[in-house]
């Protein structure tokens, strides 16, 4: 037997084993850098994986939109007023307190209405307002809420108006849903009448509020496919009122939108649908945007 060939064979085997060890180590390192789906895992600065999307984050069209270079509403302030408050029902004495709305005295607030299945108007208004806020922020607007589910009740209608005045809102929209008779369907936008009584003077906001309401009504109809109210506004989707403290006491352009009738089964089916609510929010946000760009 010749020893030299054996040494050559042993050398080849050692080299092969070394290559295999190095390759296995490299593969393990790459796997440790990859997430469970094979892509690098997202991490937060403090370690761990990135936080999931919040449960109340808007979904559907426009969700997650980030402005790309041109924030159309940069420098604009929008007040969103989610009507009522889910906790009002636990504070009936407080919300029954009378407040001055200029030409009358009215309740601080009310509980609002609900669908026959118990979906509260206050839940609807807060959800749609949050969705609209995300869309408006994506266009660069500063969005102020009158309440964000963070109050024990209210605020009162005079406080809602006062907040818009205090932040010098460029536009203010109060989000609601109606509680009318079955068969009454569709949306309508409420505009302020000319009221000059007591501390109320809407003289300066009647015209711009009509312009705001017209834009919101048009965009809401286009986004949702919903028809204007068949019981108010004579088919225009616009109604004028002088008895709402949130409008009477406003010094900035402001409207209410009643997005549908919660007591009508067909309207209720839309109002309880998250995808439809996203469309409603888009219509409101686009109407505000059109008004502020003109």
pLDDT, tens digit only, all 294 positions of the chain: 444 344 444 444 334 344 443 344 444 433 333 333 333 222 222 223 222 223 344 433 333 344 444 799 999 999 999 999 999 999 999 999 999 999 999 999 999 999 999 999 999 999 999 999 999 999 999 999 999 999 999 999 999 999 999 999 999 999 999 999 999 999 999 999 999 999 999 999 999 999 999 999 999 999 999 999 999 999 999 999 999 999 999 999 999 999 999 999 999 999 999 999 999 999 999 999 999 998
Burial annotation 152-167 (CB, 10 A radius, 16+ → b, else e): ebbbbbbbbbbbbeee
Q: Which of 237, 221, 212, 220 is nearest to 294 (CA)?
A: 212
Q: Report the chain's terminal Cα–Cα distance, integer Å.
A: 99
Q: Are residues 146 and 277 in the same domain?
A: yes
Give 68-76 contacts, CB < 8 A, sequence gap 24+. 71/139, 71/140, 72/139, 72/140, 72/289, 72/293, 73/136, 73/139, 73/140, 73/141, 73/289, 73/292, 74/140, 74/141, 75/140, 76/140, 76/141, 76/142, 76/170, 76/171, 76/292
Q: Are residues 97 and 23 in the same domain?
A: no
For residue 45, tell me if it sits in a domain.
no
Four-residue CA torsion sign, 195, 199, 204, 209:
negative
Q: Are residues 128 and 16 in the same domain?
A: no
Tokens of 30: 């790459």
DSSP 187: B
Taking phi over 0 as left and psi of -120 to 50 as alpha, with beta for the rest, 2 belongs to beta
Domain CATH code at residue 134: 3.40.630.40
What is the enclosing helix (H) or strand (E) of 200? Answer: strand 200-201
For residue 61, tell me if it sits in a domain.
no
Q: Are residues 151 and 268 in the same domain?
A: yes
Q: Are residues 140 and 25 in the same domain?
A: no
Q: Which domain holds residue 86?
A: 77-293
Largest CA distance in the chain: 120
Q: Are residues 133 and 185 in the same domain?
A: yes
What is the enclosing helix (H) or strand (E) of 9? Answer: helix 3-33
- Decide: 219 and 286 in contact? Cβ < 8 Å: yes
For residue 1, tell me if it sits in a domain.
yes
Q: How many domains does the chain have?
A: 2
For residue 156, tell me if it sits in a domain.
yes
Four-residue CA torsion sign, 200, 157, 125, 119:
negative
Q: Are residues 125 and 223 in the same domain?
A: yes
For residue 214, tell me if it sits in a domain.
yes
For residue 50, tell me if it sits in a domain.
no
What pLDDT is stored for residue 45 in this prediction? 28
| Residue in the block written with tokens 């997430």 | 35
What pLDDT is stored for residue 100 in this prediction? 98
How many Å apart are CA 216 and CA 291, to the nearest integer? 8
What pLDDT is stored for residue 2 in this prediction? 40
Four-residue CA torsion sign, 90, 148, 172, 186:
negative
What pLDDT is stored for residue 222 in this prediction? 98
Q: Are residues 25 and 111 in the same domain?
A: no
What pLDDT is stored for residue 62 in this prediction? 37
Q: Are residues 113 and 34 in the same domain?
A: no
What pLDDT is stored for residue 231 in this prediction? 98
| Residue in the block written with tokens 């407040």 | 99
For residue 64, tell me if it sits in a domain.
no
For the question of residue 258 being annotated catalytic, the response is yes
Q: Which of 162, 176, 174, 173 is nearest to 250 (CA)?
A: 162
Residue from 121, 139, 215, 258 carrying the catalytic annotation: 258
Three-class secondary structure of residue 100 per DSSP:
strand
Q: Are residues 227 and 96 in the same domain?
A: yes
- Decide: 240 and 191 in contact? Cβ < 8 Å: yes
How many Å apart are CA 180 and CA 30, to the nearest integer? 63
What pLDDT is stored for residue 41 in this prediction? 27
For residue 67, tell me if it sits in a domain.
no
What pLDDT is stored for residue 63 in this prediction? 39
């Amino acid at each position: 037997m010749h020893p030299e060939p054996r040494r050559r064979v042993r050398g080849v085997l050692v080299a092969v084993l070394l290559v295999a060890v190095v390759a296995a180590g490299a593969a393990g390192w790459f796997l440790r850098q990859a997430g469970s789906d094979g892509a690098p895992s997202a991490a937060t600065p403090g370690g761990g994986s990135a936080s999931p999307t919040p449960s109340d984050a808007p979904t559907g069209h426009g969700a997650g939109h980030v402005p790309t270079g041109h924030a159309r509403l940069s420098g604009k302030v929008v007040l969103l007023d989610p009507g009522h408050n889910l906790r009002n029902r636990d504070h009936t004495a407080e919300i029954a307190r009378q407040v001055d709305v200029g030409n009358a005295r009215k309740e601080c607030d009310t509980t609002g209405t609900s669908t026959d299945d118990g979906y509260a108007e206050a839940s609807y208004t807060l959800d749609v307002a949050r969705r609209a806020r995300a869309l408006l922020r994506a266009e660069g607007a500063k969005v102020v809420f009158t309440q964000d589910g963070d109050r024990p009740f209210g605020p009162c209608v005079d406080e809602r108006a006062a907040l818009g005045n205090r932040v010098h809102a460029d536009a203010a929209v109060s989000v609601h849903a109606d509680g009318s008779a079955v068969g009454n369907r569709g949306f309508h936008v409420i505009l302020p009448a000319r009221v000059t009584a007591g501390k109320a003077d809407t003289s300066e906001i009647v015209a711009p509020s009509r312009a705001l309401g017209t834009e919101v009504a048009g965009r809401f109809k286009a986004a949702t496919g919903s028809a204007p109210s068949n019981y108010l506004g004579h088919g225009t989707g616009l109604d004028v009122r002088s008895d709402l403290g949130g409008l009477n006491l406003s010094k900035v352009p402001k409207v209410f939108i009643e997005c549908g009738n919660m007591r009508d089964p067909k309207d209720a089916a839309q109002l309880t649908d998250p995808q439809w609510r996203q469309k409603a929010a888009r219509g409101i946000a686009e109407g505000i945007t059109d008004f502020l760009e003109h």
